[in-house]
Amino acid sequence: MKLLIAIVQDKDANRLSNQFIDNDIRATRLSTTGGFLKSGNTTFMIGLEDERVDEVLDMIKAASHTRQQFMTPPVNLDAQLDSTSSYPVEVQVGGATVFVLPVDQFHRF
């Protein structure tokens, strides 16, 4: 038995949630915030049999897309300001971060 903790961007969460439902995968969905851009994410907690881990990882990989986004870097007041410090830069966001953990016991009451 494994516990998957999958962190995906909010833009990909509904599509992934629907795939879980269609494939009879029970997942707990949490709204989370974090990362470099402090943007909205969704964290799924999924308990499942070892045999289904690769199947679920493939679903997450297919539903979680990377994309380019512009952001303005935070201003460091200790550093000397230059002409590029306030211009937006393009960064890659999205994709998924997945943790696969062993489960000693699982109970459903």
How confident is the model over 11-53, as pLDDT tens digits?
899 999 999 999 999 999 999 887 655 678 899 999 999 999 9
* Residue burial 50-75, b: 16+ Cβ < 10 Å; e: rest: eeebeebeebbeebbeeeeeeeeeee
Our count of domains for the chain comes to: 1
pLDDT at 30: 95
Global pTM reads 0.77
* Per-residue pLDDT at 100 exceeds 60: yes
- Domain hosting 30: range is 2-73+87-102
37 within some domain: yes
Tell the burial category of 106 from Cβ atoms under 10 Å away from its Cβ (0-12, 13-18, 19+). exposed
The CATH number given to whatever domain includes residue 13 is: 3.30.70.120
- Cβ(27)–Cβ(14) under 8 Å? no
Largest Cα–Cα distance in the chain?
61
49 within some domain: yes
Whole-number Å distance between alpha carbons of 105 and 1: 8
